[in-house]
Amino acid sequence: MDMCHYCGYPMENIHRITLYKENEEVNELLCKECYVEWLESIKG
Ligand SMILES: [Zn+2]
């Protein structure tokens, strides 16, 4: 089972996000809670 990139907990519902690190696209997997937090963080 996939694990959340942030909290490390195995989740059934995974959200895929794309981060930009040093001009490279990095795909990460987040659980729902971390995904919501990430969305809030990019809103500013
Ligand atoms: Zn998480």
What is the CB neighbour count within 10 angstroms for residue 3?
13
pLDDT for 7 equals 95
Show contacts of 20-27: CB within 8 Å, 24+ apart: none
For residue 1, the CA-to-ligand 1 centroid distance in Å is: 13
From CA 5, how far away is CA 14, in angstroms rounded?
Answer: 10
Q: What is the pLDDT of residues 1-44, one digit of tens each?
A: 789 999 999 988 889 999 888 999 999 999 999 999 999 998 87
For residue 40, the CA-to-ligand 1 centroid distance in Å is: 14
From CA 32, how far away is CA 34, in angstroms rounded?
Answer: 6
Say if pTM beats, i.e. exceeds, 0.85: no
For residue 38, the CA-to-ligand 1 centroid distance in Å is: 10
